[in-house]
A and B are shown apart, each in its own frame.
Chain A
Amino acid sequence: MKILVCITHVPDTTSKIQFTENNTKFDKNGVQFIIGPYDDYALARAVELKEQLGASLTVLNVGEAETEPTLRKALAIGADDAIRINAFPKDSLFVANQIAAIAKQNNYDLIMMGRESIDFNGGMVHGMVGEMLGIPSISPVMKLEIDGDTVKMAREIEGGKEYLEAKLPLIAGCQEPIAEWKIPNMRGIMSARTKPLQVLEPVSDETATNVTTYQLPPAKGAVKLIDKDNVAELVKLLKNEAKVL
């Protein structure tokens, strides 16, 4: 059993988002980067499956050298080896092409990643890779059990969940509560330093989209406070001023 987990290297969820160079680049100044929170769930579940099934677990990131600490963290959490595709992740298609190429070479049984990255929120890469490989892609997956070559999953749908079964190989876009995030322990951190991290060059330069400029939302005006003993006033404002009732 071979598992691949694809991770993103993204700003911490508490980061203040700002842009630089005439709003054409993300401002990394003072920003801490983490494993994408959804990817972290996928990784945590993959580590559990690895222990349960004696699987091998490879972690992959498409990114420049600065993402290596993020990959090392994934190794500390429990991946056996890491692959970094040495390129800026230009868009979803670009990233999906790189992952599909690696997957074709290595025949993974299960590919997991987060339902979406928290920077661009596209949520497309798992579906694209699934189509490129001709295997099922299921997302967003909140529960995943393996029984022989059958994968039993729960997928979030509007207002509830859907239970599904599919055969390996497959690709899953994951979210909570698939597993609890794992915090690396000292032994994990020490061993991560010597685990293999392979750097490969991208196989394709194709993209479907490119960003010209970034914008921040317009600043919010000051809150209008209403006295707690005059609640009817709020309803009046919502109806006549905000026009939302």
Chain B
Amino acid sequence: MSVLVYIEHADGSVKKNSLEAVSYAKALSDKQGEGEVIAVALGSVAQEELVKVGHAGASKVVHVNDEKLNAGIIQAHSEALAQVYGKVGAKTLILAKSSLGDAVAARLAVKLNAGLVSNVVELPVTASGYKVKRSIYTGKAFAETIVNKEHKILAVKKNAVDLKTDGSDAAVETVTLDIHAENFATKITSTDKAKGDVLLPEADIVVSGGRGMKGPENWGMIEDLAKELGAATGCSKPVSDIGWRPHHEHVGQTGVKVAPSLYIAVGISGAIQHLAGVNSSKCIVVINKDADAPFFKAADYGIVGDAFEVLPKLTEAVKALK
């Protein structure tokens, strides 16, 4: 018996959220005696990157070193995972929630006749049935969910467990799979990706700006603070609607949902739809000149003041800390 973990990588570097999923699987296995934690990586990834997956808790990595799998083609990845799942005799598949992971997990649930739970926030409890806690209503509530299938797939939300870093190196086994050509029928023609920045959905710290920033020309201040903190930048819906910032930075109910350790909101009033996108953050800081802004009610720390005065000071204070 074993727990399989789907590892995603960006151009060959394993994603941090996938490493968290490995740590989740390890904690699950330790708690429930589900056997070995085996990670699976699809496409071209350097051997030394894969060995490191062991530090997060995997004892073995199955590497399907097929460059056709470098692109995240949903059907091809689903089939590859289903084959590896069968080969290693797993009973549970763990993955980090992501754009590709979500799409792949749903197809796999049907292929494996497995019970899939998404937005998982804690380890399962198995005293009476296999019970998993997941986030629902866009973070406004939780549901204790019983999985009534023998095979389970859990799509884990960021920060569900702490990332483990003290494991041993993993043994890497390279395998070749025969994947049906029809599952490569969808063609990815190009990608258009922000370069060099910290990616918003995966960031540990996020600095977001709202209409209170008064215009796109003032975003340098947000970026300066983000750079100093190693943070990603986000924005409210009105800001992406007017085109001050690109759509993929829109944080909220219908945009990106983030779950960083620290969320700093500058000049955002805190509409309920925006809060829905940030309510899984560990700590929220709100900077707004309107002391009655509803966002302060959802914040841990707040500064009532003009963003244009407070932001540079905050950036300096963070610099001084280092």
Partners in one complex: yes
Q: Is B103 an interface residue (CB 8 A)?
A: yes
Q: How many residues of A contact B (CB 8 A)?
A: 76
> In the complex, A64 Cα to B250 Cα: how many Å?
34
Q: Is B28 an interface residue (CB 8 A)?
A: no
> Are A138 and B186 neighbours in the complex by a CB distance under 8 Å?
yes
Chain A, residue nearest B82 (CB): A131
Contact pick for B99, options A119, A155, A212, CB 8 Å = A155
> Are A208 and B109 neighbours in the complex by a CB distance under 8 Å?
yes
Minimal beta-carbon separation of B309 from chain A (angstroms): 7
> Are A228 and B248 neighbours in the complex by a CB distance under 8 Å?
no
Contact pick for A209, options B148, B297, B305, CB 8 Å = B148
> Are B317 and A121 neighbours in the complex by a CB distance under 8 Å?
no
Decide: A223 near B116, CB < 8 A? Known: A137-B74, A245-B262.
Answer: no
Residues of B within 8 A of A132 (CB): 110
> Are B107 and A167 neighbours in the complex by a CB distance under 8 Å?
no
Q: How many residues of B contact A (CB 8 A)?
A: 91
> In the complex, A85 Cα to B247 Cα: how many Å?
35
Minimal beta-carbon separation of A218 from chain B (angstroms): 10
> In the complex, A104 Cα to B63 Cα: how many Å?
37
Q: Can you show 29 pairs from A to B with CB atoms below 8 A apart?
A: A11-B137, A121-B118, A121-B119, A121-B137, A122-B116, A122-B118, A122-B119, A123-B118, A124-B102, A124-B106, A125-B106, A126-B106, A138-B103, A157-B193, A158-B199, A161-B192, A164-B186, A164-B188, A208-B109, A209-B116, A211-B143, A212-B144, A213-B143, A223-B299, A225-B302, A228-B305, A235-B314, A235-B318, A239-B321
Besides A119-B137, A164-B186, 9 other A-B contacts (C-beta < 8 A): A13-B272, A92-B106, A165-B187, A166-B185, A208-B148, A215-B144, A223-B296, A223-B299, A244-B282
Which 4 interchain pairs have the tightest Cβ spacing? Answer: A127-B106, A228-B305, A160-B193, A208-B115
